[in-house]
Amino acid sequence: MSEGRSEELVRELFADELRAIADAGLRNNVVKTWTLAMRLTGVTDLVSELQSGQIYGEQKSGLAVEHTRSVTQIALGIARAIAVTDSIPVDLDVVAAGGLLHDAGKIFEQATESDHPLTGPLISHHFSGLYVAMECSIPREVLHIIAFHAREGHHHRRSLECHIVYRADALSVDALLRREVGKTASDVIPYAYLR
Ligand SMILES: [Fe+2]
C-alpha cells in the first residue's frame, strides 16, 4: 500500500476525532504518526490487521480502531465537562491527539512480518508509540500521554490531560468488552478483564 493510501485510510477511519483537533499542524502530524507506524511495520489495513488484544482468550481484530475512536470521544467528553463545571482550562487538542495516538505503538507489538527493532512483544507499545510520534514532531504534552496513559503511569506524575485519557481508556475497554461478551451495563465483570 502506498504512503498516500495509508494516509487516506487513517484520515477516513479517524475523521470525526481528527476534526476535534483545531491545530492543523498537529492534526497532520497525528495522521503522519499512524502512517509512519504502518510503513515501518508493513501493516496495511488497520481495521482487520490491528488486534485489540485477547477477550476471554479470543484474539479480536477490528476493535483497535473502534477503541481508539471511543477513547478519544470519551476523553473529549470528560475534558469538556471539566472545563464547564470546574473552570479549569483543559487543552482539547492535547486530549484529542493523545486519545488518537495512545495505542499507536500497538501496531509494532503485533507486527510479525517486520524486522524493525521495535516490533514484537519485547518492546511495549508506549516506547514504540513514543518513537513514531517523536519522528512526526508530536509535542511533548502528547508524548507524555503516550508514555503514561496506562498502568505504568501510576508510578509517574500525570498531567490532567493524561489522567483523562487514562480514565477514558479504561471506560472504553469496559464498554467494548461488555458488548463483545454479551453483557449489559448493569452486569458486573471481573476486574481482571478490565485491566
Ligand atoms: Fe487503549
Kindly state the average pLDDT of the residues 156-183.
90
Quote the ligand 1 centre to 70 CA distance (angstroms).
Answer: 9
Rounded to the nearest angstrom, the distance between the alpha carbon of 67 and the centre of ligand 1 is 7
Give the cell for residue 163.
Answer: 489522567
Rounded distance from Cα 100 to ligand 1 centre (Å): 9
124-153 per-position pLDDT tens digit: 999 999 999 999 999 999 999 999 998 777
Mark 53-86 as b/e (b = at least 16 C-beta within 10 Å). eeeeeeebeebbbbbbbbbbbbbbebbeebeeee
Average of pLDDT values for 5-22?
96
Q: pTM for the full model?
A: 0.92
Q: How far is the CA of 168 from the centre of ligand 1 (A)?
A: 8
CA of 86 to the centre of ligand 1 (A): 26
54 vs 51: CA distance, rounded Å: 8
The helix/strand/coil state of 136 is coil
Q: Tell me, what's the pLDDT at 183?
A: 87
Ligand 1 centroid from CA 84, angstroms: 26
